[in-house]
Structure 1
Amino acid sequence: METLPLVLAELMGVVALAAGVALLIARRSRTVSEGREQAMLETLHLANHTLPYLRHGLNPHTAERTVKLIYEYLRPSAVALVGNGMILAFVGAGSDHHRPGAQAITQVTREVLRTGRPIVAPDPKAIGCHHPNCPLQSAVVVPLRVRGRTVGCLKVYYDGNQALTPTRIRIADSLARLMSIQMELAELDRQTERLARAELAALQAQISPHFIYNTLNTIAAFIRTNPEQAHELLVEFADFTRRAFKRRGEFASLADELEYVHQYLTLEKARYGDRLEVVYRIDPEVLPVSVPVLVLQPLVENAIRHGISRKVGPGRVVVTAEDRGNEVLITVSDNGVGMTPEQVRQVLNSDPRKRSGLGLANVSERLKSIYGPERGLEVESAPGQGTQVRFVIPKFHAGVAVARR
């Protein structure tokens, strides 16, 4: 887990860049450049289409599909992806000598791989291709970084008829950084499979493409209608993901878990608006109690995704933490569509290793493994009557403590 904070550096770069764009739009909302706004929207559009491929890692197959999508959407002179010094995929002008499977031949590529810094090459000399008939006139080359290492780069080339504008540079830079984040998540997937650690599995399940895409789309919508709100949501999204990746150990205080849930709900409320009401009923005495990480957020996500989102009209989610002497009763309830008894049984008895999207079986099994077989989740639900999920844990339990930092 000591490598997880390294993801944050790349993630914060993307969010800082996007936040800066949103803040600029907010300050100049009446005279905003269509080019800058279009850059943000195009980046989000491309991210939604290309990121799923890179969730499987960077290889010739995923690289080929990714560069084709970028090329078809942006229509530059050429697009390439390089990994470990090799051209993994190349499409466009110059494909006769920039061949997949060969070593990267341009000087600008070697420099980006060496330094880990993006480079804008405004002319053929800066590109450094020694082929006498290379048609590539300018380029944006941005590193792809995983766990603090430069593992490849995204290259977007332009010819003499295509100006290397700030908008095009911004799109390439933002897209490469988002791709790096997705490759980090792919690495976490592999770690989860190798180590089979419940903490990593729970983290990977929550930072899902489904949530990221919905959040990015919500922010994109606000850029046009409410730039200030878009900026605030970007900052909130940055803090939310920073908190996720900085987590160490298997336990956190209930106060930290509630703050994490609050940030998640802030982003979801932006999406649902008046359709979602959130109520907290927390006894302050239980805030210092140590609980398993990500034991509460999956219950809230389940209430929204499988309860409120399917409900006609406004919905309500209530989060309760009640002091019961030596124990704590934690409850998440909603007034959503509810479930049948058979659906409840399926949810609690499903294979927790499979990402069903509910996450309740995973949480229940983790609680049982830590506190005993009688400490799993209890679910009460009925069609049209909403759902209540609760569990009781002791305030003190052997081996359960927040790791010292």
Structure 2
Amino acid sequence: MGNTLSGSLETSGGGVLRIAAASAGLLTVLETIVLYSFVRADPLVLGLCVGLFNATLALVVGRLSVAQVGFARGRRALPSLPEPLPVLRDGLNRETAWETVEMLARLEGVRAAAVANRHEVLALGGPDARDSAVQAAVEEVVTAARSQVRPQRRAGPAGVAVGFPLAHRQEALGALALVLVPEAGSVEEVSRSAELFARFLAMQLELAYMDQQARLAAEAELRALRAQINPHFFFNTLNTIVSYLRDEPETARRLLLRLADLFRMNMELQDQIIPFADEFQYIRDYLFIEQARFRDRLRVVYDIDPQVLKVGVPALSVQPLVENAVRHGIAPKNGPGTVEIRARLDLLTLRVHVVVRDDGVGMPPDRVTDLLRPRANGERRPGRRGVGLANVTERLRRLYGDGYSLRIETAPGRGTTVHLRLPMR
């Protein structure tokens, strides 16, 4: 059947290419006549240039057409797989293994189908799955496919057994196996379908692995941010509370409550995505303490769209921007300063736009690139401005890819404005 299909494809492909060549020749003559009336160039040179262009175009179009014909015929030659295809983004488990086995067992000529992980067969099903010879054949090809990390084929009393590794970077994560009736005329076609399906599952497992690594990295970055409460902030807050105890005990009590709330929220923070209302409360507690410390030197302006409060945002994604504005913008400034936090929900683009602005000392614009550059392990940069800002940027990149934007506008003596845009969740 493969030779028949190949010969048919060659015949059809040759016809397509001949039609493309004839069309290119006719088009060249017509284009040369039309262009000559405008360009007035040498007709021979003009015809050669136009003909070369059309010949190239015809070759590309013809080859694409041949490929399309071959793909369509190849699809008709292979047995179709049932849908929906299983999704293994959570990894290979018994549930997804049984979904796969039940799907493959319905193919023509399949006596049994099996899916295994690194250590055991997770699912074995099909019309003859209880046959001891079939089970032995499955075990043999599964073991070989996992150990050798390449397709296996065995012919025995149970029929034709084929096994395909589910691999990630040349490491077998499992295997897929089929036992086929040897008399069936579709053994080759089913084998090819099974191999393609195994590649699909392997790709799904690789995506699951990458997704798991991204989640672990994001959780590690969140833990790093949670552990990054500045000890200077803690001791400065205690000193501020002590200074209020004698003359303003009520203010001291409120500061203690806000500090306790900060630590409680920091310890309870587990989710990557939290309502903006929770992030905003964290910011308000932090700024309440800083305003008590700086007194008249720090003014805070909130401009928050109520619609934003229910939208999910990454935890500790805005608070570090606010902390940077206070520590590196207002604190070094001679005289009072203002920090403004503004949040809007754009229903047209379904994005949250957060702006953190200060009128502090600012910084040279060329430092922005270094500010956002991720640090290597253990790297410390003297004079580096930014409380976890590179960490925040890396977390946003992992969570949203190119779907977010963070832009910093700054200049010495003119303050700093940070624009953060996030997809709505």
The TM-score with structure 1 as length reference comes to 0.48
Higher relative CO (CA 8 A, sep ≥ 6), structure 1 or 2?
Answer: 1
- Identify, as 1 or 2, the structure richer in helix: 2
Structure showing greater radius of gyration is 2
